[in-house]
């Protein structure tokens, strides 16, 4: 599967984050690297060869699955691969005004790794398996609670590269959608980024046309698309 990548900020975000800003998380061999299983299910190879995917195999536990970017069908190895799916990459233009954020927004609560279990439980409602018990270590997170105290919306950071911060973990419980929580939390994070001299970007499945259209209406700019495979170590 070949996908145009000319305008992408980062053609291989897992590789670029693990080789730079988030190098402290990297499990490394000469031709592969990955995030720890309990952080996020993303990895990378430096070349599309059987040797590189064998290196990746050595970093994985039996039964573990992780996502890898590959612009060609992955080279044969002991790993098994899913069919690829497209992921769109979008950025917030540096010169564009930020979305409105009320100066005093008491609903927004900073989240820490002490909240990890309830963050995993919330994200498992929307995208099971992507948010793990240690994902909270990758950057700041914010949440909104219901009147009963349950965490019902959240947003934070994932793969950070240089001065770019990936908006991720954006999730609202189905019973609380339509209240503007997602845009409020994104706005909070984006205001934090700009105040710190950082840039906001994000990824979304190409098949999620509703989310893609929403981000484009907000002002995000599409930078391109890359293919993602799920690689699984059976034994």
- pLDDT in the model for residue 103: 77
Do 70 and 147 lie in one domain? The reply is no
DSSP-derived 3-state class of residue 191: helix
The predicted model scores a pTM of 0.94
Inside any domain, residue 51: yes
Alpha-carbon distance of 11 to 25, in angstroms, equals: 20
Do 58 and 103 lie in one domain? The reply is no
Inside any domain, residue 4: no
Do 69 and 99 lie in one domain? The reply is no
Do 81 and 142 lie in one domain? The reply is no
Inside any domain, residue 124: yes
Do 79 and 125 lie in one domain? The reply is no
Q: If the chain, 235 residues long, is cut into consecutive pieces of 10 residues, what is the mean pLDDT of each piece?
A: 67 98 98 98 98 98 98 97 97 96 84 98 93 98 96 97 97 94 94 98 96 94 97 95
Token digits of residue 133: 């018990």
Inside any domain, residue 212: yes
Which residue matches tokens 């205001």? 191
DSSP 174: G
Residue span of the structural domain in which 79 resides: 13-86+227-232
Do 157 and 71 lie in one domain? The reply is no
Q: What is the CATH number of the domain that holds 165?
A: 3.40.630.30
Do 77 and 133 lie in one domain? The reply is no
Give the per-residue SS3 of 5-45. CCCCCCCCHHHHHHCCCCHHHCEEECCEEECCCCCCCEEEE
Read off φ and ψ for residue 225, nearest 5 degrees: -145, 145
Alpha-carbon distance of 204 to 223, in angstroms, equals: 12
- pLDDT in the model for residue 1: 45
Inside any domain, residue 62: yes
Do 61 and 97 lie in one domain? The reply is no
Do 104 and 212 lie in one domain? The reply is yes
Inside any domain, residue 22: yes
Burial 180-200 (b: 16+ CB within 10 A, else e): ebbbbbbbbbbebbeeeebbb
Inside any domain, residue 170: yes
Number of domains in the chain: 2
- pLDDT in the model for residue 130: 94
Do 55 and 110 lie in one domain? The reply is no
Inside any domain, residue 201: yes
Q: Report the alpha-carbon angle 6-12-14, nearest 5.
A: 160
Do 212 and 146 lie in one domain? The reply is yes
Do 124 and 192 lie in one domain? The reply is yes
């Amino acid at each position: 599967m070949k996908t145009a990548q000319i305008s992408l900020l980062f053609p291989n975000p897992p590789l670029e984050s693990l080789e730079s800003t988030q190098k402290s998380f990297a499990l490394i061999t000469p031709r592969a690297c990955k995030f720890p299983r309990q952080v996020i299910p993303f990895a990378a190879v430096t070349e599309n060869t059987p040797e590189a995917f064998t290196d990746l195999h050595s970093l994985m536990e039996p039964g573990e699955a992780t996502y890898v970017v590959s612009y060609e069908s992955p080279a044969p190895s002991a790993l098994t691969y899913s069919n690829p799916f497209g992921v769109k990459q979008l950025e917030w233009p540096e010169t564009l005004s930020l979305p409105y954020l009320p100066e005093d927004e008491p609903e927004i609560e900073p989240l820490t790794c002490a909240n990890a279990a309830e963050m995993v439980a919330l994200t498992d409602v929307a995208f099971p398996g992507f948010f793990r018990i240690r994902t909270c270590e990758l950057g700041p997170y914010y949440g909104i609670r219901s009147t009963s105290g349950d965490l019902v919306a959240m947003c934070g950071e994932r793969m950070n590269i240089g001065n770019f911060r990936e908006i991720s973990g954006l999730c609202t419980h189905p019973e609380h959608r339509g209240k503007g929580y997602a845009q409020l939390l994104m706005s909070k994070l984006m205001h934090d980024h700009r105040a710190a001299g950082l840039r906001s970007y994000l990824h979304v499945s190409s098949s999620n046309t509703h989310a893609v259209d929403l981000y484009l209406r907000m002002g995000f700019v599409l930078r391109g698309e890359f293919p993602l495979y799920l690689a699984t170590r059976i034994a």
